[in-house]
Amino acid sequence: MITRRDFTRYSAAVAVAAAIPMVGRSADSRQMIRRPIGTADETLPVIGLGNSRAFTADDLDVARGLIDIFLEHGGGYIDLGGSSRYNVGKIAREKGASDSLFLGNYIDVEKPEETRSTVTALASAQGKSTLDLANSRDLSNYRADAAQLRALKEEGLVRYIGVARIGPQAIDTMVGLIEDALVDFVQINYSMVEPEAADRLLPLARDRGVAVVINRPFINGKFFDIVRGVKLPAWATDFDCDSWAQFSLKFILANPAVTCVLTETENPKHAIDNLGAGFGRLPDAATQQRMLKVIQELV
């Protein structure tokens, strides 16, 4: 885990790097790409933050620094579970940033009154009148819980509801939930090494107006093991890609069904690098195939 001393050391270098203009890119490319939340009249920045260990720590200085970087570079969506929901909510209130952040919360659906109490307490802790997103990890019981979640939405206590899982075994169930209009959001893994969601889930979500959040863009770090010691292709600059992290993120974002990709780090330099994938050009279809070939030859 990164320490406050490490964070201070990283931040000095990061502050200098962040001030350097993006040479060769248009003025428009200096704004992070935003995409609509399904059919809603609302957009999200395409790079988000996952439920980082920094958000669960007793010492939240690192979390505050990461959120500063996130906000300064146009980020919006943060994925939260457990104590992170309250810790990040506290930081957002301290910074007057509650309205600037879209907070995705994992909710355990219990008895209606207990669930309602949890939702209202979280919204208050996050400085919001209404919880942005109530996510469930319980795919097996989601259909039974959906009525309760929809009731919270109809009462104005929650704006969006959804499910979040990883693995190809979750795809069929998520497809069914999308087909039956039971979710506003789905969160699933998708990358050059884990491409299964692109076959059915992503096209269906786009057609039905369901927002898609992608997790595991680096396969919990395994992606970097694959590319370690390999030089980034020179042609990556054609789509404003400066690192292997951006190579993975920009491939994912090239799929128009993707609303936001979650990145997770405690390292400020890595956070800025990840956020950079949300700026500039994205690879076209031919380039995506070229990218896939690069990675497939390394796996």
If one counts every other C-beta atom within 10 angstroms of the C-beta of residue 74, the result is: 18
Asked, for residue 6, whether it belongs to a domain, the answer is no
The answer to whether residue 29 scores a pLDDT higher than 70 is: no
Asked, for residue 14, whether it belongs to a domain, the answer is no
Lowest-confidence pick of 3-12, 187-196, 250-259? 3-12
What is the model's pTM? 0.90
What range defines the domain where residue 134 resides? 42-298
Q: What number is the average pLDDT over the span 131-151?
A: 95
Share of the chain above pLDDT 70, in %: 90
Bridge-based pairing of strands 131-136 and 102-106 is: parallel
Q: Name the DSSP class of 233.
A: P
Q: What number is the average pLDDT over the span 115-124?
A: 96
Q: What number is the average pLDDT over the span 211-225?
A: 97
- Give me the number of domains the chain comprises: 1
Asked, for residue 29, whether it belongs to a domain, the answer is no
Most confident segment among 17-21, 24-28, 178-182: 178-182
pLDDT value at position 57?
Answer: 79
pLDDT value at position 18?
Answer: 41
Asked, for residue 125, whether it belongs to a domain, the answer is yes
Asked, for residue 236, whether it belongs to a domain, the answer is yes
Domain CATH number, residue 127: 3.20.20.100
Asked, for residue 1, whether it belongs to a domain, the answer is no
pLDDT value at position 53?
Answer: 87
The DSSP annotation for 69-99 comes to HHHHTT--EEEE-TTHHHHHHHHHHHTT-TT
The answer to whether residue 179 scores a pLDDT higher than 70 is: yes
Q: What number is the average pLDDT over the span 255-273?
A: 96
Cα dist. 296→220, 246, 251 in Å?
A: 18, 17, 14
Q: How many helices (H) and strands (E) does the chain have?
A: 11, 10
Asked, for residue 9, whether it belongs to a domain, the answer is no
Asked, for residue 63, whether it belongs to a domain, the answer is yes
| 277 vs 291: CA distance, rounded Å | 15
Q: What number is the average pLDDT over the span 118-135?
A: 97
